Every structure is written in C-alpha cells, then in structure tokens.
Structure 1
Amino acid sequence: MDTTLSAEDLAFREEVRAFLTETFTDELKARLDDKATYKDAQIEWQRKLNDKGWVAPNWPTQYGGAGWTPTQNYIYENERSLVGAPDTIPFGLSMVAPVIYGFGSEEQKQKFLPRILNSDDWWCQGYSEPGSGSDLASLKTKAELDGDDYVVNGAKIWTTYAQYADWIFCLVRTDSSGKNQDGITFLLIDMKSPGIKVNPIIGIDNRHTLNEVEFNNVRVPVANRIGEQDKGWTYAKALLQHERTAIAGVAESKRQIRELKSAAAEILSGGKAIIEDPAFRKNLTDIEVELMALEYTELRVLAATASGSAPGAESSLLKIKGTEIQQSIQKMWMDLSGYHMGAQALQGEADLSGHDFANEARISYMYGRAATVYGGSNEVQKNIISKFVLGL
C-alpha cells in the first residue's frame, strides 16, 4: 500500500487543520465536557461539519456524502484525534442512515436523511433486549399489524443516549413461526410516541449513558418500516457491519497512546520517568505494533468501501482487535495512575480517594470492559470469521 501523501492530500491536510483550528474552540470543548451542555455542543459541532460538507464522509455523494477518498478519510481522522475533537454520534450518521439510503423508500430518504445530516434528529439503537445478550436473533419485542400501524410491545436495553434521542431504530418480532432470523422487521420509531418509557441505567463508571426503553402498545406507522416485513435481519446485518467498523476506534487509540506517552514522561518511579521503564516500554511498543497493523487493515476496508463494496467479515476483525487494543491501553492508564498515586503519596500530596488522573483512568477502564461485548461480543465475531472467512 502506498502511504505517500500526494500534493492534493497535503493540501487537504492543511485545509483540515485550518478548519479544526477555527471551529474546535476551547469554549466548544468545555461545553462538550460538561454533561449539562453536552448534547447542544455535540449538535453544534456536527452542524459545523455539515456546513463544511464533512459530516458524512462515507455516504454516497447523491445523499450528501463528502466524496472523500480513503486517504482523505484517514487524514481527517488523524487530524481530528490530534486536537481531541469528537467523532460524530454514530447512531444516525453511521448506522441507520446507510440502512435508509440502502434499503429505504424514496419518501423515507427525503424525510430522514436531510435531518440526520443537519443533526435535527438524535437517534438511538433498539437492538439488545433483556435476556437476549449477544443472541440478537432471539429478540422478543413484538409488533402486531393493526390497520396502518404496528403496535409494539416489549423492551430494549443498553440503549446509549436514549435519554437524548428523538428517534429509535428497532428490530421487532413480526412472525414467530420460523427460525429466529426470520420474522424480524426493522422499524423507525418516534421517541415521543405515547407508551415509550426510558429508564436510566447508571453504569459501573457512575455515568448515565445507557438506558432501558420500554414499549407499551406503541403505535408505529407502517410508513416507518424499512423494506419488507419479516426481512429486517438482512438490514440489521448491514447496519452491524458499519457499526463494528466504527467501533475499531483507531484514531482515538492513537490519541490515547500519545497522551499516555506524554504522561509517562512526567511521572517518576525510582527517580526515573516511567516512560524509561523497560517493561512499560515493551508493553507500549507491543500495543503500537498491533495498532499499526489494525490501521492498515482499516485502510483496506475503507478502500473497498469507497469502491462500492460493503464491509464484510473484515468488520468483525476490526471490532475484535480494535476493542482489545482499547482495553490494553486502558489497562496501561490504570498502571500509570498507580505509579502516579504512589509518587504523590511519597511526597505527601496524594488524595487517596482518587485524584483526577486516577479517576479518569478508572472511569475509562470500567466503561471499556463493555467494548468487547457491545456491537456483538468478540466471541460472536470470531464465529463470524470462522464461518465466512475460514469456511468452518
């Protein structure tokens, strides 16, 4: 793979840097870090990207996509991570939108896609259910046809940002007579519909990002069904491939490593910076090598996607390695916070209840344990690879 940047690519990088310098201000960053202003700030950021034409780089250009090459996508992600600018919220832009423009009606495309581009609607994902775990096809939430509506009853769980959402895309059971993968339908549901209840779930990190969503006789117009009734499993699989590719988080892992190195250069143990410790350096180098290999794999997937191919079993590989690398980095942050607290304790400065450095490391580590589970557990991803790549 040729990694040399062309003159056009270098010019694009300068354009990205100038855009980020102008738009990703300290004031916006502070609002993004405050849970009271987070949603409005995230929408403002996404609208700045949309005004630039950059909010949906992987969409087809006829629907508002940026028309970037894989190299341009790579450049943007790296520059974004360098300054700590947030990624877009994936549920609308990266997950349901490809299903809508890939399988939806013209009316659905015209209704939903412009609003997703402009962040007028905040979306969440209704896939997992209580008791179903990673066996998504065993879902029980039921939708019964009643005239021009479906009547939906059941519950979804681990629904990220449902407390903010305007819409939820859901898999529902419309037929139980065949195998589990049959009889599933893909619905777009207005979160303001009567009968929807959002129950907060406070995670082990003590933050509210997750929820349970209950449906009690919720009426959903048939016009909000994607594609055919009972064929939703096909659309769900397409969405999951996009989700798993995004979960890899290569750019964010690169940023975490840069910050880890910087912190390790300042924290002393035995009179020397932790970054000089041979065991610490070996662990960090092993992670960097794996991340480099993952980055090139991601570039190959991006190149295939740009040529019109949908991400296949490669998305499972990206998800497995990406989340394992994330957890390895989080563990190193925990190790480093231990050194940090120990050094402060020796100087009589440590707040042993948890200072900012250790507290942030703890929160990331705890929340990160879920990374190898959500989006389809890594064990399930290995089964996908063994079946579709190895033919086992």
Structure 2
Amino acid sequence: MSYYINMNLTAIDSKNAGLKNEKLVLNILRRQEPLSQAQLCQKTELGSSTVTYIVGRLRKKGLIQETQVESVKRGARPKLISINPSGGFVVGAEISPSHILLALYDLNSSLRDKVNLSLELDRSAENVVKLAEISIKGLLNKYEISSNMLGGIGLALSGSISPEGVVKLSGPLGWKNIPLKAMLEDYFECPIYVFTTKVRLLAELNASPSLTKKNIVYFNAADGVGVNTIVDGNLINGATNRCGEIGHIVIDPNGPLCGCGQRGCLEAHISGPAIADKVKKDLASGVQSGFSKIIIEDDQPEVVAGKWKKLIEEGDEYALSLRDYAAEKISWAAAAAINIFDPDVLILAGYINEVSFDYFKHHLLSRFETNVYDESSRNIEIRLAQAGHNALMKGASAAVLEEQFSI
C-alpha cells in the first residue's frame, strides 16, 4: 500500500463519478475543513450543480455537518461544510507479543475509546481474532454504533504481510502464513486491513504535519527493528512491501537466533525482546546490576526497557554498558540508512530508542565523519518520534481512513 503525501486531487469523470467525487469532497474536507459550497466548487473544479448534488448525498448519509455563519451581505446566510465526526467510525489495533491495543476512532481521527488485551498466556492467531472480535463488537454496542457505520478495521503488527492480508512471517509473534485478514472477515462485513509497522510513520506525520514535505528515515526499535522511509513525498514500500527490513541484516553470523530463523540479525541484538533476553541471561551468568533487584522473569520487554532507563539515570554500571552496546549498533544501522536514503530528517522511534535518545543521538553524530558519506554537505535533523506509545494503533486507524477516502 502506498501513501502519496502530496496528493493531487482532481475531478473524476467515469461511470462511478458520483461515488468518486464524494470521496474527493470528503478528502478535501478532511484536510481543509470547514469550507463553503463555493469553495468546494473551486477546489474540486466541479460545477455548482454537481457539488450541490454531492453535498446532498453526503448530508443524507450523515457524513457531513453544516454550520450557518454570519454574513455582511443581504440574502441567505452562507453555510460552512465539514466532516461529521460521528458519521462513521474505524478501528485501529496494535498486535504485539504481549497485548492487543485496540481503539475506536471517529472520522476526525479522534479517539473515542480503547481496550488493552493481554496475550501473555496465548498469542495464537485464533486467540487474537477471538479477542478482537469480542472487543470490537463490545465497543460498537457500548456506543450504540450500528455495524454499517463501521468503515473498516486496521490491524498492525511487526512482520511480513502479503497484499491478501496473510502474515507470511512475524518473528516477534512466532507466526507463519497466518491468513489474518480472512480470519477476521468471518465476523465483520466492513473492510479488514492488515498493515506492517510502516503505519507508525503515518501516525508521526499526523502528529507533525510539517514533516510531509521532507525526506525522512524513521528508525524504529521496539518489538522489532526496521526503517521506514519517505523519499520526495512518497512512502517507499518496495516490490514485495518489505522495504526497510534493516533489522534482518546479519551483523554477526554466530550471534543470537532471530525470530526470522537466521542468526545474528540486528533485530536479534537490539529489539526489545533481544535486550530483555540479554539482561536475563547476563544476570543468570553472574553479572552484578541493580536489575537483579527490580526485574522479574515475567517482565515484558517494554517493562524491562523502562527499568533499564531508570538504572541508567541512577548510574548503574551494567545498564550503562548495555546502553553503549545498543548505541553502537543503532548508530551503525542509522548511518547505513542515511547513506542509502539521503534524508533531511532522521526520526528515532520505539521504546528502545526512548531509553536514552540524547545519548544515542550524540553517539550517532560522533560517527558521522567516519560512517556517513560526504557528511560535511549534509544537514540532517535527528529527532525523537512524537506520536507516542500508541503510534502503531493510531497509524492503523489513519491508514484505514486513507483507504476509505482514497480515490
């Protein structure tokens, strides 16, 4: 799936012109609302009678709302048209090894409610689908939303996803060839989408609209490790939608086993699960650290990362050495991504990068001279992701809305 950041919206003329021009109007309203009918004519390049007809149809469907405004001129007061937030809803969900974070959003991408479901005892696809079905239907019943008002469900997870919504491989979840989309379609009539973690970047763009005109490398280190890129305004996907799998570059053939089946992948060294596993193994081998007093066997990777950050702040020697271990690999991978994609913005994202962003940034900058080609001519902004911990869920919902309103 591709997101074209600089969208060229023009009038459609075909046998499906009515529906397509409805989407055209809705797309413009989503980005520039509220607008008068005259402004809609100007921006869509459609005739007044056509826009009047489209507005009437959207009004009947409950997808727009109109507000009368004061006018200095005589005659009927003009109306401003905007999206009706309650005219439809979408669901965005993040599937991780430890939980499903599932949320209901309206047409303005405003969060209405969310549910956090534990997967600690059973992360099978069957259990994920069962929990998602029950929770989504529960949210619809709670807010008295009819099934025909649910525009789509977006599920996002770390892994390789086919265009048919089959999870070909997800190392963090331990899934192979799971027809996730088809499994959930048995319970819902609305469109179902399965996204990779690329949708995090869409959430980031929504949080920082100024980024849309930039060339961006988005380096995520969390349950998995990957790079998403925007080049000249376009999100790059690749021939098989696997562009950016930097986490599966082998950096040590004799290294730890990765969820993809190979040994020594970058992800097997610096992902959340890899760091958590390393900490527990190091403690078991006799390493002395404050970790031994605060960590428990059942701690999920994100919890371990939070405790790691606290110990760094306290000056724990092992925590600091673990920070150096991660910084070396993060800076190497980020420098490689810079050489490949030539960004003007590098975003460090994910709960591992959040552990010590300033230190990782400093370490990366210190390697520019030796690791980044022609570094003296570059002016790269390095920043921490702004979309927050729910970026995957937010991105999934935003991607569903993009699909629903795309022409």
Same topology, TM > 0.5: no
Bigger strand share: 2
TM category (shorter chain) comes to: under 0.3
TM-score (norm 2): 0.23
TM-score (norm 1): 0.24
